[in-house]
């Protein structure tokens, strides 16, 4: 059996990964295939119904790097803008974060002619059998027009949201957590086909809220409302110690186990100002996956609880006046 078949089967039981995680690599491929074409970095929705996309993220998982958490975590909690914070309750963490954010002044909304610059680091971890390790990064610098209406209107992805659309949607979110979650689920809908089946409400809420949180920019008061609502989603937890993001920085991990899988989604927040810093998928229990060609088992891949499968860190974000400009 060839290597690509093995790669496709490695995580065949998992949903196709977030478009946000795949987008930087896909952007590079698209630009190479069509020089000069305007390409947007997708932020919306959650699954890509394409074998090539699934294989791409599996390659990242195989060619991973070990991303260990702190050897001796400090469970007294970080010293944040809200004071010393104990990491023992998602409601405590997220509501304290919201309290701090509500005290921050809001900057002006970006102009339609401005650009959103982001720099990211992506990495993944190999399995327990000693597969090759090495940091993987995809097109770390990205510039997207704040008002990317042309891409939203003419692009092939009907679920694409511009930075302006997200900013204004977050500004209009209600204070009531249940109503806010319903609005966010509507803004980032779940699947409705056999290839993209619908999620249960709690998983849909957490996945969609993660897409909102990672958007840039978001006014502090709007982010505060999002955090308060996130704390009410069933199954949400907080890791009781700081973890490491793909850039090696300490972060708070707000987590929820993926329905029907052996892994959890982790939304990573800065422990000092509570801004979004990244996303991880982490193994929740030891398990094995058998690779085969449909007839003969070729090998067994072992995964161990606590392994970081994939991780993305946003190390810089800014509003700039032109493509190519950095803060």
pLDDT digits (tens, 9 = 90+) for 254-312: 999 999 999 999 999 999 999 999 999 999 999 998 877 666 667 888 899 999 999 99
Tokens 């008061």 label which residue? 221
Instruction: Note whether residue 216 is domain-resident.
Output: yes
pLDDT at 264: 97
Of 215 and 83, the one with more pLDDT: 215
pLDDT > 50? residue 197: yes
Contact between 206 and 200 (Cβ < 8 Å): no
> DSSP string covering 82-96, please?
TEE---S-HHHHHHH
CA–CA gap between residue 170 and residue 62 (Å, rounded):
36
**Which residue range forms the structural domain that includes residue 268?**
3-320
For 54-63, what is the mean pLDDT? 34
Report yes or no on 306 lying in a domain: yes
Q: Hey, which residues does 314 pair with through a beta bridge? A: 120
* Distance from chain centroid for Cα 178: 22
Nearest to 80 by CA among 315, 311, 254, 242: 242
The pLDDT value given to residue 137: 45
Q: What is the mean pLDDT of the chain?
A: 77
Per mean pLDDT, which of 15-24, 54-63, 146-155, 254-263 is the most reliable? 254-263
Question: Is residue 326 included in any domain, yes or no?
Answer: no
Question: Would you put residue 130 in left (φ > 0), alpha (ψ -120 to 50) or beta?
Answer: left
Comparing CA positions, the residue from 237, 185, 183 lying closest to residue 207 is: 185
pLDDT per residue as tens digits for the range 115-125: 999 999 998 66
| pLDDT above 90 as % of the chain | 57
**3-class secondary-structure state, position 53:** helix
User: Is residue 325 in some structural domain?
Assistant: no
- Tokens (6 digits) for 12: 């065949």
Greater confidence (307 vs 41) lies with 307
Torsion on CA atoms 51, 57, 62, 66, rounded to nearest 10 = -170
Q: What is the mean pLDDT of residues 182-210?
A: 94
DSSP track, 238-296? E-SS-EE-TTS-EEEEEEEEPTTSSEEEEEEE-TTT--EEEEEEEE-S-EEEEEESSSS
Residues 83-108 have a mean pLDDT of 92
Q: How far apart are CA 293 and CA 272, in angstroms?
A: 49
What pLDDT, on the 0 to 100 scale, is given for residue 160? 80
Residue 148 lies in a domain: yes
Which pLDDT belongs to residue 104?
94
The number of domains in the chain is 1
Tell me how far apart the alpha carbons of residues 70 and 242 are, in angstroms, rounded to a whole number. 7
Q: Which of 19-28, 124-133, 188-197, 219-228 has the lowest mean pLDDT?
A: 19-28
Tell me which residue has tokens 């972060």: 251
Task: State phi, psi for 167 to the nearest 5 degrees.
Answer: -55, -45
Residue 89 confidence class, pLDDT cut points 50, 70, 90: very high
**DSSP secondary-structure letter at 317?**
E
Q: How would residue 194 be classed by pLDDT, with cut points 50, 70 and 90?
A: confident
pLDDT surpasses 90 at 162: yes
Residue 274 main-chain phi, psi, to 5 deg: 70, 20
Cβ atoms of 24 and 122 within 8 Å: the answer is yes
Distance CA 150, CA 64 (A): 36
pLDDT above 70 covers a percentage of the chain that reads 66
Closest CA to 194 of 49, 318, 301, 310: 49
Q: What is the mean pLDDT of residues 30-43?
A: 31
Lowest-confidence segment of 43-47, 132-136, 202-206, 245-249 by average pLDDT: 43-47
Per-residue pLDDT tens for 127-156? 444 443 444 446 789 999 999 987 766 655
* Confidence band of 231 (pLDDT split at 50, 70, 90): very high
SS (H, E, C) 99-161: HHHCCCCCCCCCCCCCEEEEEEEEEECCCCCCCCCCCCCCCCEEEEECCCHHHHHHCCCCCCC
Residue 327: inside a domain, yes or no?
A: no
Domain assignment present for residue 203? The answer is: yes
Over 60: is that where the pLDDT of 72 sits?
no
Is the pTM higher than 0.85? no
Q: Which two tokens mark 68?
A: 């260990």
Residue 100 domain-assigned (yes or no): yes
Does the structure show a pLDDT above 70 at 77? no
């Amino acid at each position: 059996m060839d290597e690509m078949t093995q790669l496709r089967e490695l995580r065949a039981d998992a949903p196709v990964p977030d478009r946000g995680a795949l987008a930087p690599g896909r952007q590079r491929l698209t630009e190479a295939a069509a020089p000069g074409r305007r390409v947007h970095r997708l932020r919306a929705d959650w699954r890509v119904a394409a074998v090539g996309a699934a294989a791409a993220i599996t390659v990242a998982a195989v060619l991973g790097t070990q991303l260990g958490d702190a050897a001796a975590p400090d469970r007294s909690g970080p010293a944040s803008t809200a004071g010393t914070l104990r990491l023992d309750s998602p409601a405590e963490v997220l509501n304290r974060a919201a309290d701090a954010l509500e005290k921050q002044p809001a900057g002006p909304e970006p102009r339609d002619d401005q650009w959103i610059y982001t720099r990211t680091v992506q990495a993944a971890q190999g399995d327990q059998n000693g597969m090759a390790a090495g940091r993987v990064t995809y097109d770390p610098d990205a510039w997207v027009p704040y008002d990317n209406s042309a891409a939203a209107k003419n692009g092939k992805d009907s679920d694409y949201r511009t930075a302006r659309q997200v900013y204004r949607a977050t500004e209009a979110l209600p204070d009531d957590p249940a109503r806010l979650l319903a609005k966010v689920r509507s803004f980032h809908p779940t699947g409705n086909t056999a290839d993209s089946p619908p999620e249960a409400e709690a998983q849909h809420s957490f996945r969609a809220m993660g897409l909102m949180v990672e958007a840039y920019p978001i006014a502090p008061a709007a982010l505060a409302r999002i955090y308060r609502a996130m704390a009410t989603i069933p199954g949400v937890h907080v890791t009781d110690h700081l973890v490491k993001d793909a850039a090696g920085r300490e972060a708070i991990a707000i987590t929820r186990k993926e329905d029907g899988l052996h892994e959890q989604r982790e939304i990573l927040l800065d422990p000092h100002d509570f801004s979004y810093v990244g996303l991880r998928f982490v193994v929740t229990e030891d398990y094995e996956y058998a690779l085969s060609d449909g007839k003969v088992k070729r090998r067994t891949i072992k995964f161990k609880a606590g392994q970081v499968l994939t991780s993305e860190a946003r190390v810089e974000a800014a509003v700039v006046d032109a493509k190519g400009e950095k803060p």
